[in-house]
Amino acid sequence: MSYRSNLEKILSEGRFVVTAEIGPPKGSDAKKIRDKAEIVRGSANAFNITDNQTAVVRMSSLAGCVILLQMDLEPIMQMTCRDRNRIGLQSDVLGAAALGVRNILCLTGDHQSFGNHPAAKGVFDVDSIQLLQIIKNMRDAGVFQSGDPLLAERPSVFLGAAANPYADPFEIQVDLLRKKIDAGAEFIQTQSVYNVEKFARWMDDVQSQGLDKKVHILAGITPLKSVRMTERMKFHVPGTDVPDVVYQRMKNASDPAKEGYTIALETIRELKILPGIHGIHITALFWEEIIPALVKDAGLFHQI
Amino acid sequence: MIITKQKNLEEILRVLGNGPVFLIGCSECATLCHTGGKDEIGAMKEALEKRKIPVSGCIILDPACHLNNNKRMLKEYSKEIDRSDKILVFACGNGVQTVAELFAEKEILTGTDTLFLGEISRGNEFDKRCMLCGECLLDIFGGFCPVTRCPKSMLNGPCGGSSGGKCEISSEMECVWDRIYQQLKNKGKLQVIDVIQKPKDWSKAVEMKRRV
């Protein structure tokens, strides 16, 4: 069996996977991304490079991915539908594949009003589900969205998507997951988990439909670094669910960063034993240096 | 005015299936562009009945986008509406949704495609004039809107595809920048073209509500 990426290989072999997010810099210095990557080298199997996350302009995901490839690290290229139409997206899929990118995570993208260019025109020509289908068809059927054939090599990529058990309506989230799988998703990275109980309820629904057998689900972890960050996550970031008990723990802590780390560790331990979970996806916002310790203390280190 | 186009009858029949159906038109835009006025609703009723699809009644709302007025006008037709599970609306996309708001239990079908905000140039000819971008720039461009009427929404002059006053997209389409240029020239305001227009603020175009 030949695999499109190492990530696909490890997941297919039934091994537990760790992925970690690296945010590109607000500038053209490649060293910034290399420095971050060196910190997390060896702590994850593959590394997500965000695509102008929260609609803030940063170095492109494709460029970030190529920098990782030059370092012998495996990137997961995040692709949003906010800034490119189907022509640009398909073109970048071809370019990324040509440069060695083997994993693509398809996202609709945060609305431009949240970012640093709220006057920008959002593209949203297609959505994440359509993007998955488009890339799958380019890869498997050798056709572009228009039906026009690809003429020189198909992009051999492993396709991922996001899932959010905390968005409303709760019931529709499993339907959306099924739709993403049907469209082409082979792995899923979820929204950051703070409410394990609700996450487990979602996983029950996912399993009852057998969806965990059709896709590799990686549960999201974002360590809380401060009370301020906890409050931002709890009250301002749409689609996140920070339970009161977590908020209280952070508020009562003498060292909130340490408490946040402990909470993340406990959460990983709970998620690890949940049936149907195939890996952990760590997004340490402005706190990448914590990832190696977290992975080691959570007993994930030997997995890599 | 909101310019609509009636869907073709086969398409309407396909979604409609069996009746009975209640028909709704609009006294304003859909009347003026001959898609949902008295004449068109009458013709539709006849066409459906000819195909043995019962029509339980019809009304021309005045206009279809006025929620409270719709409530008042439709009250008189409650019996006819009760006899139909389906309501087929010939109005703009707004009119259809305003009707849908009132009948949660009914199947709301639309008989039109909504094309653009435009003018009646001649009796039966309509031209796109505005894309509701939320920040009007007409003052700068002599009363011609390049945001709407240039397919690339170019703000700093025509692209390389302008030829003989026509747009590269279609020989039937005028190049609005040709019009803008002539207009500014006639008014001795060509210096306007020298100003580099900044990227447009599209955040105004995401407004979803306005209260007075």
User: B63: cis peptide before it, omega within 30°?
Assistant: yes
**Residues A119, B201: C-beta atoms closer than 8 Å:** yes
- Contact residues on chain A for B202, CB-CB shorter than 8 A: 112, 119-122
Residue A190 covered by a domain = yes
Note whether A118 contacts B: Cβ–Cβ < 8 A.
Answer: yes
pLDDT at residue B191 is higher than 70: yes
Question: Residue B73: helix, strand or coil by DSSP?
Answer: helix
φ/ψ region of A79 (left if φ > 0, alpha if ψ in -120 to 50, else beta) reads beta
Domain limit, last residue, from B85, B115, B145: B115
Number of domains in chain B: 2
B162 falls within a domain = yes
CATH for A155: 3.20.20.220
Determine contact, residues A159/A104, Cβ cutoff 8 Å: yes
In chain A, what residues touch B200 (CB-CB under 8 Å)?
119, 121
The answer, yes or no, to whether residue B151 has pLDDT greater than 90, is yes
Sequence-separated (6 or more) residues with CB below 8 Å from residue A123: A81, A82, A83, A84, A85
Would A184 be classed as within a structural domain?
Answer: yes
- Looking at the domain assignment, is residue B62 inside a domain? yes
Residue B19 confidence class, pLDDT cut points 50, 70, 90? confident
Are B45 and B94 within one domain?
Answer: yes
pTM (global) more than 0.90: yes
Please, which contacts does B137-144 make with residues 24 or more away whose CB atoms are closer than 8 Å? B137/B200, B140/B192, B140/B197, B141/B180, B141/B183, B141/B184, B141/B192, B142/B180, B142/B183, B142/B184, B142/B187, B142/B189, B143/B183, B144/B176, B144/B179, B144/B180, B144/B183
Say yes or no: B89 and B169 in one domain: no
| B105 and B144 part of one domain | no
Could you give the percent of chain B with pLDDT greater than 70? 100
Q: Kind and range of the H or E element at A118?
A: none
CATH number at residue B38: 3.40.50.2300
Whether the CB of B206 is below 8 Å from some CB of chain A: the reply is yes
Please list every residue in chain A whose beta carbon sits closer than 8 Å to the beta carbon of residue B154: none
Domain that holds residue A290: 6-225+267-303
Q: Which domain holds residue B22?
A: 2-115
Beta-carbon contacts of B28 under 8 Å, excluding residues fewer than 6 positions away, are B1, B62, B63, B64, B65
Distance, in Å, from the CA atom of A70 to the CA atom of A100, rounded to the nearest integer, reads: 10
Is some CB atom of chain A closer than 8 A to the CB atom of B199?
Answer: yes
> Chain A residue closest to B134 (CA)?
A119
Distance CA A275, CA A110 (A): 30
Cis geometry, peptide bond prior to residue A238 (ω within 30 degrees of 0) = no
Q: Please give the residue of chain A at the shortest CA–CA distance from B202.
A: A119
Beta bridge partners of B2: B117
Q: Do B202 and A121 touch (CB under 8 A)?
A: yes
User: Does B108 reside within a domain?
Assistant: yes
Residues B194 and A138: their CA atoms lie apart, in Å, by 45
- Residues of A whose CB is below 8 A from B148: none
- Residues of A with Cβ-Cβ distance to B135 under 8 angstroms: none
Q: What is the model's pLDDT at position B79?
A: 97
Q: Render each residue's pLDDT in chain A as its tens digit; 304 residues.
A: 789 999 999 999 999 999 999 999 999 999 999 999 999 999 999 999 999 999 999 999 999 999 999 999 999 999 999 999 999 999 999 999 999 999 999 999 999 999 999 999 999 999 999 999 999 999 999 999 999 999 999 999 999 999 999 999 999 999 999 999 999 999 999 999 999 999 999 999 999 999 999 999 999 999 999 999 999 999 998 889 999 999 999 999 999 999 999 999 999 999 999 999 999 999 998 899 999 999 999 999 765 5
Strands (E), A175-288: 187-192, 216-221, 277-282
Tell me whether B198 touches chain A (CB under 8 Å): no
**Residue B80 and residue B26 share a domain:** yes
Give domain status of residue A252, yes or no: no
**Number of domains forming the structure of chain A:** 1
Look at residue A232 and tell me if it is in a domain.
Answer: no
To probe the interface with B, which of A114, A121, A123 has the most B CB atoms within 10 Å?
A121
Residues B98, B158: one domain? Answer: no
Is the Cβ of A122 closer than 8 Å to some Cβ of chain B? yes
What the block records as the tokens of B129 is 């004039």
Q: Do B80 and B148 lie in a common domain?
A: no
B39 in a structural domain: yes
Phi, psi angles (nearest 5°) of residue A74:
-95, 115
Strands, sheet with B112-122, edge to edge from the N-terminal-most edge strand? B2-6, B112-122, B125-130
Is any Cβ of chain B less than 8 angstroms from the Cβ of A116? no
- Confirm whether the ipTM is greater than 0.85: yes
Within a domain: residue A149? yes
Q: Does residue B37 sit within a domain?
A: yes
Whether B199 sits inside 8 A of A119 (CB atoms) is yes
Q: Are residues B26 and B105 in the same domain?
A: yes
- Check whether residue B91 and residue B143 sit in a common domain: no
Q: Choose the final residue of a domain: B58, B80, B115.
A: B115
- Inside any domain, residue A262: no
What six digits make up the tokens of A17? 């996977």
- Determine, yes or no, domain membership for A148: yes
Whether the link from the prior residue into A169 is cis, omega within 30° of 0, is yes
B144 and B98 inside one domain: no
pLDDT of B26 over the 70 cut: yes
Domain co-membership, B17 together with B90: yes
Whether residue B154 sits in one domain with residue B80: no
User: Chain B within 8 Å of A151 (Cβ-Cβ)?
Assistant: no
In a domain, B36, yes or no: yes
pLDDT at A237: 87
Identify whether residues B14 and B79 lie together within a single domain: yes
The confidence score (pLDDT) of residue A286 equals: 83
In a domain, B57, yes or no: yes
* CB contacts, 8 Å: B206 with chain A: 113, 122
Three-state SS at A127: coil
Where is the domain boundary, B49, B84, B115?
B115
DSSP 3-state assignment of A1? coil
**Any domain includes A95:** yes
